[in-house]
Amino acid sequence: MSAKPAERRANLRITRRFSAAGVDPFSTVEWEWRTALISDVHGGVVFEQHDVEAPKNWSQLATNVVASKYFHGRIGTPERENSVRQLIGRVVATLRGWAADARLFATTDDLSAFADELTYALLHQMVAFNSPVWFNVGIHDKPQASACFINSVEDSLQSILELAKTEALLFKYGSGTGTNLSPLRGSNEPLSGGGTASGPVSFMRGFDAFAGVVKSGGKTRRAAKMVLLDVDHPDILPFIRCKAEEEKKAWALIDAGYDGSIDGEAYGSVFFQNSNNSVRVTDAFMRAVEQGKTWTTHRRTDGAVAGTHDARDLLFAMASAAHLCGDPGVQFDTTINTWHTCKSTGRINASNPCSEFIFLDDTACNLASLNLMRFRGHDGGIDTDSIRHVVDLTITAQELIVDNAGYPTPAIGARSRDFRPLGLGYANLGALLMANGLAYDSPQGRGLAAAVTALICGEAYAQSARLAEQRGPFAGFAVNATAMREVVGMHRRAVDAITDAPESLVTAARSAWIDAVRLGNLHGYRNAQATVIAPTGTIGFMMDCDTTGVEPDIALVKYKKLVGGGVAKLVNGTVPLALASLGYGALAIGRIVAHIDACATIEGAADLAHEHLPVFDCAFKPEHGTRSIKPAGHLRMMAAVQPFVSGAISKTVNLPADATVDDVVDAYMTAWKLGLKAIAIYRDGAKRVQPLATRAEKPSAVATFETDVPPCNECGTAMVRSGSCFRCLNCGTVNGCS
């Protein structure tokens, strides 16, 4: 039995790996002064700040994003931040103060080492916290520091209105939220005072309107929210169809001449544009689909049967709606709750907007992501010791945030502190695989991805157990100890099933999980969850990542608008690394890159061996090429990494424009059989959002694939779809994810 927290002594130690005692970690980079400037498509200035201090090796885009999104204070006033060292220093100094107050470390030298090592990792773009940390930590006494929230709702008007209020507060400070509306009675169920209920879909209209006017983080980016409904709810069909039906209304308005941009009159006049919708399905439902059986829905008031449907018809309805507009997604309830660490406390009903944080109602999760390319050696090897070290630093920092953050409701604050879920993940997997000459859709690509994900998750749980030794396990651990250890054991056993991965990486992952199990058996765990795979929207720009989350690259060629006018064609910088890894010499690499520059595709390059083409496949088919990663390739990659993620994976499975509804059904069935927790699909060209310019005009910051990318609502540049988000490569604005 672990000792009580009051009897514990602080003896956490930090070994210096990157820094030296007495040496300012900010001195480890060369600094320069820049102007952070973002202009719109017409040359007008969207954002401008002179005399911005940034590391010389940070890109101009990273500088622009950090200055415009994260620097605190009004421009032109003394309190305005003007340096990356101020930004990182503000956050790390606050974390150091919290650690000192908690007396977490064994000595003041360990405390200094923690601050210096974390500063180095952040400065060198090895890791980044989620956006609310940069927005709020060091600014407010109790900063809202979590990107992801899950809220509950009860079947009462008071609870529904409280949910609307809570969501508005979350959007204000830059966070996203999700709620399962299944407790609400169906639209044909009686009210106690007479009449019939409005039903979830009706209330969704009100929630959508609030989300549309309360912009995320006080910015102009859209709020991020998720709405879920169980497949046995009486209103499941109206829920499945609601967003597709509104999409058709928007089309009619566009055809009538109304502005079809993402914030134009057409889409601004229809509902449900501010949320992602998902249906919760069980194994019983999916088996009914397989076997051609019926499925019953049940009233919320008394549990009576509300309706009987052909299960295949219901899944086909989901697929038809998603084929048309991308919604709803599907979450696999049985799988989610099988991997649930806190079964004795209650079920998992909902997720955050992008489906990576899946946990108990009324909880929050602060995220952070590693930049995998920063751990790649010149020979393509992975520095596993540095990964483990940065994981330890980051989990410790995230753990400090839990107690010192502010929360929008007492219930969310109490439950978040009682269960302490964290969301460590990564970005740049796609770039890492390509740089190492591995195809995203290949056994070797999946093997490396699985092993590195296993290493991060195993070390995260090991550090959580070390923190439990210091501070005690999370409050809900005792009643959930059996389930927690069962799930950790499931993760550990999955490591033995990894194939086609570098042996050194698998060995490191296995070592991390041995530590996680051993230490957890001794001390319990400080955190009920440790990892997710988030979309890494804005922080991906901050870390100069080429790819986001678990996604492959979107295209080998992108177009970037230049300050002062003009457009530059950018050939993916990972291509030369990949070619070198595959054994090509400098002259051949130069000719292949020149071919890509001229043709916007690697296909047809005379020097390239045909068997190497898959290494350069991207999410979307290039304008003048024929190849892209097939939907099954996306699903297989998700299945490879899911066993090593506490939560789930934020990822969109990309389908070509000519995909059929049956193709969507097949994707859903495959995802379920592969053991995924959630899936969202997007068919190229599904929505009619008008691009700012045609392909022939080469809109700035848009790759040569989708025809329906929306313009950025800050600078007007056409955005790119990356996972569950839209991203602007010009100004760094991210829409659709937290």
* pLDDT given for residue 621 in this prediction: 85
Judged by average pLDDT, the poorest of 378-392, 431-445, 537-551, 678-692 is 678-692
Rg (CA), the chain: 25
- Domain residue ranges in the chain: 1-124, 556-617
Among 421, 371, 387, residue whose Cα is nearest residue 401: 421
User: Is the pLDDT assigned to residue 689 strictly greater than 70?
Assistant: no
* pLDDT given for residue 698 in this prediction: 43
* pLDDT given for residue 241 in this prediction: 97
User: Is the pLDDT assigned to residue 707 strictly greater than 90?
Assistant: no
In sequence order, the β-bridge partners of residue 129 are 368
Measured CA to CA, the distance from residue 713 to residue 165 in angstroms comes to: 25
Q: Give the pLDDT mean for 359-366.
A: 97
Would you place residue 716 in the very low, low, confident or very high pLDDT band (cuts 50, 70, 90)?
confident
Share of the chain above pLDDT 90, in %: 76
Burial class (CB in 10 A: 0-12, 13-18, 19+), 9: exposed
Digit-coded pLDDT (tens) for 65-89:
999 999 999 999 999 999 999 999 9
Question: Mind telling me the catalytic residues?
Answer: 352, 354, 356
Measured CA to CA, the distance from residue 503 to residue 509 in angstroms comes to: 10
User: Is the pLDDT assigned to residue 738 strictly greater than 90?
Assistant: no
Tokens, residue 498: 């990894």
Q: Which residue has the higher pLDDT, 521 or 46?
A: 521
> How does the average pLDDT of the chain come out, rounded?
91
Measured CA to CA, the distance from residue 500 to residue 588 in angstroms comes to: 29
HSE (side-chain half, CA atoms, 13 Å) at 11: 4
Tokens, residue 496: 């033995």
User: Is the pLDDT assigned to residue 703 strictly greater than 80?
Assistant: no
Dihedral sign for Cα 397, 402, 404, 406, please: positive
Would you place residue 555 in the very low, low, confident or very high pLDDT band (cuts 50, 70, 90)?
confident
Beta-sheet strands, E only, within 317-374? 329-332, 350-351, 358-359, 363-371
Digit-coded pLDDT (tens) for 282-299:
999 999 999 999 999 999
CA angle 156, 330, 302 (to 5 degrees): 35
* pLDDT given for residue 205 in this prediction: 92
Q: Give the pLDDT mean for 270-293.
A: 95
Would you place residue 566 in the very low, low, confident or very high pLDDT band (cuts 50, 70, 90)?
low
Q: Which of 187-196, 434-443, 625-634, 725-734 has the highest mean pLDDT?
A: 434-443
Check: CB of residue 58 under 8 Å from CB of residue 81.
Answer: no
> Distances from the Cα of 452 to the Cαs of 366, 389, 393, 509, 570, in angstroms?
21, 14, 17, 7, 29
User: Is the pLDDT assigned to residue 402 strictly greater than 70?
Assistant: yes
In sequence order, the β-bridge partners of residue 423 are 367
Check: CB of residue 515 under 8 Å from CB of residue 525.
Answer: no
0.85 exceeded by pTM = yes
Q: What is the distance of C-alpha 674 from the center of its chain?
A: 21
Q: Give the pLDDT mean for 295-314.
A: 97
Among 703, 692, 535, residue whose Cα is nearest residue 619: 703
User: Is the pLDDT assigned to residue 318 strictly greater than 70?
Assistant: yes
Q: Give the pLDDT mean for 337-341.
A: 98
Q: Which residues contact 307 (CB under 8 A, 6 or more apart)?
A: 234, 296, 297
Judged by average pLDDT, the poorest of 407-416, 476-485, 710-719 is 710-719
Q: Give the pLDDT mean for 184-189.
A: 94
Judged by average pLDDT, the poorest of 293-302, 499-508, 715-724 is 715-724
Measured CA to CA, the distance from residue 543 to residue 62 in angstroms comes to: 7
User: Is the pLDDT assigned to residue 571 strictly greater than 50?
Assistant: yes
Query: Omega into 183 within 30° of 0, i.e. cis?
Result: no
User: Is the pLDDT assigned to residue 732 strictly greater than 90?
Assistant: no
Length of the chain: 738
* pLDDT given for residue 686 in this prediction: 80
Q: Give the pLDDT mean for 468-491.
A: 98
Q: Residue 597 has what DSSP assignment?
A: H
* pLDDT given for residue 723 in this prediction: 60
Check: CB of residue 167 under 8 Å from CB of residue 177.
Answer: yes
Measured CA to CA, the distance from residue 690 to residue 707 in angstroms comes to: 8
Check: CB of residue 360 under 8 Å from CB of residue 646.
Answer: no
Burial class (CB in 10 A: 0-12, 13-18, 19+), 350: buried
